[in-house]
Amino acid sequence: MAADSGNRDGAQTATDYDLVIVGGGMVGASLAIALAGRGLRLAMIEAHPPGADSQPSYDDRGIALAYGTQRIFEALQLWPAIAAVAEPIAEIHVSDRGHFGVTRLRAVDEGVPALGQVVTARELGHVLIERVLADDAIDVLAPARVVDFADDGDRVRVEIERNGVVDEIGCFLLAAADGGNSAIREQLDVPVTRWEYGQSAVVTNVTPTQPHANVAYERFTDTGPVALLPMTERRCAVVWTVRDDDVDDVLALDDDAFLAAFQRRFGHRLGRFRRVGRRSAYPLSLLRARESVRGRIAIIGNAAHTLHPIAGQGFNLGIRDVAALAEVVWDAFAAGDDIGAGDVLDRYERWRRTEQRNVALATDGLARLFSNPLAPLRVARNLGLLAMECLPAAKHPLARGAMGMLGRQPKLARGVPLD
């Protein structure tokens, strides 16, 4: 915990920081790591005890990290620890179950070692939180909750409650990485676009009789998309989209009945599914904040955009928020400027606005198109997949998008340090 310290004008205030990050999920922790050790006074506030098994951000869901995300973690020198628990994706196979359309994206065609890597949120969380805790430059205030905050123009005052005691800290910039139900976004009354899909993702892992050969499958079925991602130990991560009405029934199935039901849904491309892990379900919605900056507050990660997991883009988009925000903040700090000033945060918002909108729209479009059983749409999407397969030039932008490599790349995403 920081002792009394001076602000950038030299005035002394109690427990003052340059940057306070609310939320120690994947996005908040990554931002703390990106800016640590550069002279900024940093605090990360997290409601759960660090490393606790109960931390919902770091559960057993499989997360596909795009190649662009791998590059950011390489620049942050976290990649060796993540690679040790990750499985590469050499190919993405997209098909419409029971129909003719299929297209394949291959790492070799894109000249990259892998299109992405799959890791569980829990394992990624261990790597991130271990690094955060080992870094003296980051004050971890946890378990602690932000109960109130006020932006008075010059600073943001943040009230936090720890062990029943309320303290106040101050900062020049507050980053709200407090997830899809962000209380900070809500207190600011930031308008959002929100859509409930009426679907939930049932998540688990299965072990097929045939090796996955590092292929990730996206299969579109009449009740919604199914993703099967290659994991370590010959397992595959399952993201099975089911209608909300059916979730309880699916979760109530015993192992054998679940495997049989999932086999019917996915087919036999990988032989028979033998073992299955613990199941959990996530209600699916789209949420996009129409502003990601308000005064001295930046809203990042799921707090700014929560996506359908069909294309595995949620965290990948969030870490690019982190890379861009870290860059504008560091540029301002290194120049001796106020890191929470309007022009600094405007730069961030302008930079991220188009990509956030495009990825949210593309993901939403995919989720709707591929959940729709209407015959004309089914024919159209199969023709689309087929055309893509026959026109390699058309696949390239799709693959670059899936790898998170479209648009202006922040330094960290290019493997370049912040300075």
First-to-last C-alpha distance (Å) of the chain: 27
Both tokens assigned to 386: 């087929």
Question: Binding to ligand FAD by residue 63, rule CB under 6 A?
Answer: yes
The radius of gyration of the chain's CA atoms, rounded to the nearest angstrom, is: 22
Q: How far is the CB of 387 from ligand FAD (least distance, A)?
A: 26
Binding residues for ligand FAD, how many (CB under 6 A)?
35
Which listed range, 308-316, 337-345, 351-359, 406-414, lies at the site for ligand FAD (CB under 6 A)?
A: 308-316
Q: Using the rule CB under 6 A, which residue among 76, 94, 239, 298 binds ligand FAD? A: 239
Q: Using the rule CB under 6 A, which residue among 127, 169, 201, 324 binds ligand FAD? A: 201
Which listed range, 40-48, 123-131, 361-369, 390-398, lies at the site for ligand FAD (CB under 6 A)?
A: 40-48
Q: Using the rule CB under 6 A, which residue among 16, 18, 46, 123 binds ligand FAD? A: 46
284 φ/ψ angles, rounded to the nearest 5 degrees? -105, 135
Which listed range, 7-15, 32-40, 57-65, 270-278, lies at the site for ligand FAD (CB under 6 A)?
A: 57-65
**Count of CB atoms situated within 10 Å of the CB of 277:** 17
Q: Using the rule CB under 6 A, which residue among 247, 282, 285, 341 binds ligand FAD? A: 282
Judged by beta carbon, residue 179 or residue 338, the one nearer ligand FAD is: 179
Which listed range, 45-53, 97-105, 148-156, 340-348, lies at the site for ligand FAD (CB under 6 A)?
A: 45-53
Question: Binding to ligand FAD by residue 302, rule CB under 6 A?
Answer: yes
**Pair type for strands 305-306 and 102-106:** unpaired
**Count of CB atoms situated within 10 Å of the CB of 379:** 14
- Single out the residue of 48, 18, 51 nearest to residue 132, CA to CA: 51
Measured CA to CA in angstroms, residue 333 lies from 329, 336, 338 at distances of 6, 5, 7
Separation of CA 416 from chain center: 21
Whole-angstrom distance, CA of residue 46 vs CA of residue 139: 11
Question: Binding to ligand FAD by residue 101, rule CB under 6 A?
Answer: no
Judged by beta carbon, residue 49 or residue 267, the one nearer ligand FAD is: 49
DSSP 33-69: HHHTTSS--EEEE-SSPTT-TT-GGGSS-EEEEEHHH
**Is 116:109 a contact under the CB 8 Å cutoff?**
no
Judged by beta carbon, residue 201 or residue 388, the one nearer ligand FAD is: 201
Question: Binding to ligand FAD by residue 21, rule CB under 6 A?
Answer: no
Question: Binding to ligand FAD by residue 195, rule CB under 6 A?
Answer: no
Q: Using the rule CB under 6 A, which residue among 125, 208, 225, 314 binds ligand FAD? A: 314
Both tokens assigned to 262: 């999932």
Helix (H) or strand (E) holding 401: helix 392-402
- Single out the residue of 105, 188, 110 nearest to residue 146, CA to CA: 188
Whole-angstrom distance, CA of residue 323 vs CA of residue 27: 10
Which listed range, 22-30, 241-249, 364-372, 376-384, lies at the site for ligand FAD (CB under 6 A)?
A: 22-30
Measured CA to CA in angstroms, residue 6 lies from 36, 91, 106 at distances of 18, 52, 53
Separation of CA 141 from chain center: 22
Task: Name which of residues 126 to 185 contact ligand FAD (CB under 6 A).
Answer: 145-146, 177-179, 183
Whole-angstrom distance, CA of residue 387 vs CA of residue 390: 5
Q: How far is the CB of 17 from ligand FAD (least distance, A)?
A: 15
Q: Using the rule CB under 6 A, which residue among 170, 309, 340, 401 binds ligand FAD? A: 309
Q: Using the rule CB under 6 A, which residue among 20, 21, 40, 64 binds ligand FAD? A: 64
Question: Binding to ligand FAD by residue 61, rule CB under 6 A?
Answer: yes
Judged by beta carbon, residue 21 or residue 112, the one nearer ligand FAD is: 21
Residues that bind ligand FAD (CB under 6 A): 22-28, 45-48, 55, 57, 61, 63-64, 145-146, 177-179, 183, 201, 203, 239, 282, 301-302, 309, 312-316, 318
